[in-house]
């Protein structure tokens, strides 16, 4: 259990459900990813179109409703929650939800509360995140070159992200950098990013691009198998497999020359679904049992149907029975349409 100082939320006591969430393939669901907004202050080229149509604000669950939903999952055995977006820190009053969920960490009902961010708002929120019990965050960063950063994010400010990373580390937050590996964009920069991250006490994870949502380019032009990237890195570094896990799909190696960790997330070249312990909740109350499938459950209706959580709990149980064995991702010239129509920003990766 993480302990922390500072004020905490007032989350109502959670009574644990005796039946853990076990999917049809015997996997325990203990990890909930919550997309608190589909909005973002960047427009990363591989994630969304430049001119996006976002959800009307009236369709979003309130932060109080999101807190109630998260608490229901905690009662059913979820031990880790990651807040995502879009960019989670652009949601108005988001720290209310962080503080409420942080109370579960403080009480021992939740092992970890964390978030994935583009870093743009970290200078503003880093200290408060730490006070709420967050100890570890992921920062999405695909390049260290300001010009390339502007090209891939369209709207992002590189200097602002660097300030955010510095503020987060100063606040005591551990950082893992996430970089999407993109052919002919950053593939020759990954070695420098590794040195940058490890030189500052941060882990680095590289991720294969995934076929989600219509974007303004052909993903086959950017798709880079991490098997090739790893082979290139091994010309400069000694990579040793290690059993380190953070609860997500990354497979880690230790880099002898830097002493740091490097993770690989390979949904395309190596399907990691056999150990999937995750489900994903959107800001509208839709539960996706798999990132790469369209099947979903409407929890908003169950949430609003009764003040009691019995109906909601039953709806969650029914959804877990439909969790598939794996995703349907594929990228090649014969499959140049997205595997799923929704953008990554809807479910937060």
Q: Is 7 a domain residue?
A: no
Q: Is 45 a domain residue?
A: yes
- Alpha-carbon distance 343 to 349, whole Å? 9
- What pLDDT was estimated at residue 324? 78
Q: Is 251 a domain residue?
A: no
Give the pLDDT mean for 13-18.
Answer: 54
Structure tokens at 167: 């503020």
The string of pLDDT tens digits covering residues 316-329 is 999 999 987 765 54
Render the burial of 313-347: b for 16+ CB within 10 Å, e for the rest.
Answer: bebbeebbeebbeebebebeeeeeebbbebbbbbb
Q: Which residue has the higher pLDDT, 15 or 135?
A: 135
Q: How confident is the model at residue 133 (pLDDT cuts 50, 70, 90)?
A: very high
Q: How confident is the model at residue 246 (pLDDT cuts 50, 70, 90)?
A: confident
Distance, CA of 348 to chain centre: 5
Q: Is 292 a domain residue?
A: yes
What CATH number has the domain bearing residue 73? 3.20.20.70
The string of pLDDT tens digits covering residues 64-122 is 999 999 999 999 999 999 999 999 999 999 999 999 999 999 999 999 999 999 999 99
Residue of 219, 205, 188, 164 whose CA lies nearest to 48 = 219
Containing domain of residue 311, as a range?
A: 31-181+275-347
Q: Is 257 a domain residue?
A: no
Which residue bears the tokens 């987060």?
A: 168
Q: Any idea what the Cα angle at residue 265 is, between residues 296 and 74, rounded to 5°?
A: 45
Q: Is 304 a domain residue?
A: yes
CA dihedral 111, 316, 69, 340 (to 10 degrees): 90
The structural domain count of the chain equals 1
Residue 126: strand, helix, or coil: helix
- What pLDDT was estimated at residue 283? 96
Residue 288 to residues 36, 130, 222, 347: CA-CA distances in angstroms? 14, 29, 26, 8
Helix (H) or strand (E) holding 239: strand 239-241
Kindly report the pTM of this predicted structure: 0.84
310 prior amide bond cis, ω within 30? no
Q: Which residues contact 28 (CB under 8 A, 6 or more apart)?
A: 20, 21, 22, 77, 277
The string of pLDDT tens digits covering residues 184-230 is 889 999 999 999 999 999 999 999 886 544 545 554 566 888 899 99
Q: Is 3 a domain residue?
A: no
- What pLDDT was estimated at residue 249? 81
Q: Is 254 a domain residue?
A: no
Handedness of CA 235, 241, 247, 248 (dihedral sign): positive
- Alpha-carbon distance 24 to 73, whole Å? 18
Structure tokens at 322: 């439909």
């Amino acid at each position: 259990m993480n302990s922390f100082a500072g004020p905490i939320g007032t989350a109502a006591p959670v009574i644990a459900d005796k039946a853990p969430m076990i999917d049809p393939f015997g996997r325990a669901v203990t990890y909930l990813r919550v997309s608190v907004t589909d909005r973002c202050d960047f427009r990363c080229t591989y994630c969304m179109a430049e001119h996006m149509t976002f959800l009307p604000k009236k369709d979003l669950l309130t932060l109080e409703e999101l807190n109630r939903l998260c608490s229901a999952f905690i009662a059913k055995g979820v031990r880790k929650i990651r807040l995502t977006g879009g960019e989670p820190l652009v949601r108005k009053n988001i720290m209310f939800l962080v503080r409420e969920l942080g109370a579960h960490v403080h009480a021992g009902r939740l092992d970890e509360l964390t978030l994935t961010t583009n870093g743009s708002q970290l200078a503003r929120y880093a200290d408060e995140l730490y006070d709420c019990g967050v100890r570890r965050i992921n920062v999405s960063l695909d390049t260290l070159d300001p010009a390339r950063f502007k090209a891939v994010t369209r709207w992002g400010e590189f200097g602002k992200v660097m300030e955010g990373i510095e503020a987060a580390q100063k606040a005591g937050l551990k950082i893992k950098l996430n970089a999407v590996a993109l052919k002919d964009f950053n593939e020759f920069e990954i070695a420098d990013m590794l040195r940058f991250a490890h030189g500052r006490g941060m882990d680095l994870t590289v991720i294969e691009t995934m076929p989600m949502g219509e974007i303004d380019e052909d993903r086959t032009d950017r798709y880079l198998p991490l098997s090739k990237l790893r082979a290139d890195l091994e010309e400069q570094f000694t990579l040793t497999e290690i059993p380190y896990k953070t609860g997500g799909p990354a497979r880690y190696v230790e880099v002898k020359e830097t002493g740091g960790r490097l993770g690989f997330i390979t949904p395309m070249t190596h399907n990691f679904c056999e150990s999937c312990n995750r489900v994903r909740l959107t800001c509208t109350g839709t539960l996706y049992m798999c990132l790469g499938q369209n099947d979903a459950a409407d929890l908003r209706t169950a949430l609003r149907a009764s003040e009691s959580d019995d109906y909601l709990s039953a709806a969650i149980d029914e959804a877990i029975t439909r969790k598939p064995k794996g995703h349907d991702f594929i990228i090649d010239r014969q499959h140049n349409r997205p595997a799923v129509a929704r953008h990554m920003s809807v479910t937060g990766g």
